[in-house]
Structure 1
Amino acid sequence: MSRSNGAGLAVLVPGGGGQLGRDLVAVGDALGDRVEVVAPSSAELDITEPGAVVEAVADLAAGAAQAGRRAVVVNAAAYTAVDAAEENEEAAFAVNADGPRVLAAVCSSRGVPLVHVSTDYVFSGDAARPYEPGDPLGPRSAYGRTKVAGEDAVLGSGALAWVVRTAWLYGASGRNFVNTMIELESTRDTLSVVDDQVGSPTYSADLARGLLELAGRIATGQGPRSTVLHYTNSGETTWCGLARAVFSELGADPQRVRPCATEEFPRPAPRPTYSVLSTASWTEAGLPSPRPWRDALTAFFADVRAQDSTARR
């Protein structure tokens, strides 16, 4: 977060137990006294419960005012079990749409800005170029439909709100594709990974830094004109390409990862064939350009090694 943002920032992060929430806390801690991040888990703060949300946002606003900070909410709470959502769309809708609606209404009433994190799954995935924020939406899965509903709820609430879409998120904590590949490298001689789905892998720590930078600018009245932004690490690859890059970082032979077609691994929820998000809206807003996904992956491994070394001391 740039030092030009003046007074300190107080950030409430619903969904703080997830990989993004944990990275928002870590990045906030690294910024020292300039940022205070409070990140309750979904068990500690259920955003579908109006009373709990009213209390949490009121506490945020009061604490920020007392400490001379500016308050912002960054919503990282989400139902992200894409396949399970096909049979449990009502449950996914509660978290991905009803919850953001409640959160936005409370933020609006309290005058607290809101940043809501969304996904590439709001698009159909059949584009031939990176998606811009204003491109037509066309979700093909229950998960995608619930995330569209959440975006609509936030942007139509009257709150001072922004939606930030991201994609292919991975981090040190929780289950994600990169951590799964790390596990499989040690247990499989070879493995087959889909090579006909294209996207932009995104390190959750990078997204966290970007979100806090955005929150700081919003808090000082310098928020972007566009209320929908895209943030991913730059460049694109396939799942197979990402898996091979993980193997390379581990010092393993990337050719042990064999390409295959989506049809060979049918899933309940359809996946976008092409879901690269253009980050032009992000950089045009004057926000720092995301680094290339390959550089971010290398940084992820360096960060994990550093954390492991610290934990062993």
Structure 2
Amino acid sequence: MRILITGGRGQVGSTLAELLASQGNAEILILDKEQLDITNQDTVYSTVTEFQPTIIINAAAHTAVDKAEDEVEHSYAINRDGPKYLAQAAQTVGAAILHISTDYVFEGNKISAYVESDPTNPQSVYGASKLAGEVAVAEACDKHIILRTAWVFGKNGSNFVKTMLRLGKTRDELSIVGDQFGGPTYAGDIAKVLLQIAKRITQGSQVDYGIYHYSGQPHVSWFDFAVTIFDMAVEQGVLVNKPTLTSITTVQYPTPAKRPSNSRLSNEKIITNFSIEVSDWKNALNNIQEYTG
């Protein structure tokens, strides 16, 4: 198995690097944005054709949701054009591409959890650019897996868990949005799922290529997520006391980019096709100290 990973310093990419470090049966090339500009088609093509991967995992993305509203061209370059070039190169060398996408491709007003076949209708530049990336990947490479996920957190990079723990050290009170719901997803579990799928592909097993959803359970609001983070932080001695939390509405916390009120994603398809275990985000917080670095 020869794996090329982009976004090597991101939440998922860095975790993939750690997991693969202990596996001697894979040749790995892990690149961050300084080492590979995925928006440069010629550079992508030469890198891929030289390394000849069997699997490309694209963990690179422009994820600054609010900044994307002003950085439209930049967002599309990274979230649409880069994935397109990687997928085209994958098709050229006969590789499969595993591409990470997002719940933001949906409008976010469905009552129940979103399934893969639900109509997309992104409400932000970030969501629209990620959807454009999905389309580009699917059109460019026959062997593609598009993995939509949500509310990603891990010990590397910036995320909600780390932000809450940082604010909890200096604030006595915090207001958290309570009318947006989703499934927090541990980056380590996303990485494991990607490698599980990669192994299936490499082993020549039957693979149903296409779009899959993978996000953590149980589903909660940001407010409920924050309550659990602080409860576990106090319980594990990371914080002495937790701040007083107030649940507020999306209207009370306006942002440049519109957030989906419903980010719940159904895991049924990926469980059925790949025997994947659902990510338990509470379990991922059992060693909450690792998110304080």
> Tell me, what secondary structure is at the counterpart of 1:33?
coil
Equivalent residue number for residue 24 of structure 1:
16
| More deviation, 259-268/215-224 | 215-224
Q: Report how far residue 254 of structure 1 moved.
A: 5.3
| More deviation, 270-279/12-21 | 12-21
> Tell me, what secondary structure is at the counterpart of 2:7?
coil
Contact 1:111/1:159 (CA < 8 Å) preserved in 2? no
1:1-313 mapped onto 2 (5 Å cutoff): 9-30=1-22, 32-61=23-52, 71-222=54-205, 224-251=207-234, 256-298=244-286, 301=288, 304=290
Contact 1:105/1:159 (CA < 8 Å) preserved in 2? no
> Tell me, what secondary structure is at the counterpart of 1:37?
strand
Equivalent residue number for residue 6 of structure 1:
none
| More deviation, 245-254/102-111 | 245-254
Contact 1:282/1:289 (CA < 8 Å) preserved in 2? no
Which residue type is aligned with residue 232 of structure 1? S
State the Cα deviation string for residues 39-90 of structure 1 (Å, max 9, x = none): 11111101111221112212321xx6xxxxxx20000010101001111111
> Tell me, what secondary structure is at the counterpart of 2:6?
coil
Which residue type is aligned with residue 269 of structure 1? A
State the Cα deviation string for residues 81-119 of structure 1 (Å, max 9, x = none): 100111111110000001111111111111111001000
Contact 1:244/1:255 (CA < 8 Å) preserved in 2? no
State the Cα deviation string for residues 187-227 of structure 1 (Å, max 9, x = none): 00111100100000011011101111111111223253141
Contact 1:200/1:236 (CA < 8 Å) preserved in 2? yes
State the Cα deviation string for residues 272-302 of structure 1 (Å, max 9, x = none): 0001110111111133212322222225x26
Specify every segment of 5 or more residues in structure 1 that has no aligned partner in the other structure, as ranges. 1-8, 65-70, 309-313
Q: Report how far residue 28 of structure 1 moved.
A: 1.2
Specify every segment of 5 or more residues in structure 2 that has no aligned partner in the other structure, as ranges. none
Which residue type is aligned with residue 14 of structure 1? T
Q: Percent identity?
A: 36
| More deviation, 250-259/214-223 | 250-259
CA–CA distance in structure 2, aligned partners of residues 223 and 248 of structure 1? 44
Which residue type is aligned with residue 20 of structure 1? V
Contact 1:226/1:281 (CA < 8 Å) preserved in 2? no
| Pair 1:246–1:223, CA change in 2 (3 A) | farther
CA–CA distance in structure 2, aligned partners of residues 126 and 40 of structure 1? 37
CA–CA distance in structure 2, aligned partners of residues 22 and 119 of structure 1? 19
CA–CA distance in structure 2, aligned partners of residues 255 and 187 of structure 1? 9
Which residue type is aligned with residue 291 of structure 1? S
Runs (4+) of structure 1 exceeding 4 A deviation are 252-255
| More deviation, 131-140/233-242 | 233-242
CA–CA distance in structure 1, aligned partners of residues 110 and 204 of structure 2? 35
So what's the TM-score if we normalise by structure 2?
Answer: 0.93
So what's the TM-score if we normalise by structure 1?
Answer: 0.88
CA–CA distance in structure 1, aligned partners of residues 251 and 2 of structure 2? 47
Q: Report how far residue 34 of structure 1 moved.
A: 2.9
| Pair 1:241–1:36, CA change in 2 (3 A) | farther
Q: Which has the higher helix share?
A: 1
> Tell me, what secondary structure is at the counterpart of 1:278?
coil
CA–CA distance in structure 2, aligned partners of residues 287 and 36 of structure 1? 25
Equivalent residues, number: 288
CA–CA distance in structure 1, aligned partners of residues 27 and 217 of structure 2? 28
Q: Report how far residue 255 of structure 1 moved.
A: 6.5
Q: Report how far residue 133 of structure 1 moved.
A: 0.7
CA–CA distance in structure 1, aligned partners of residues 143 and 80 of structure 2? 17
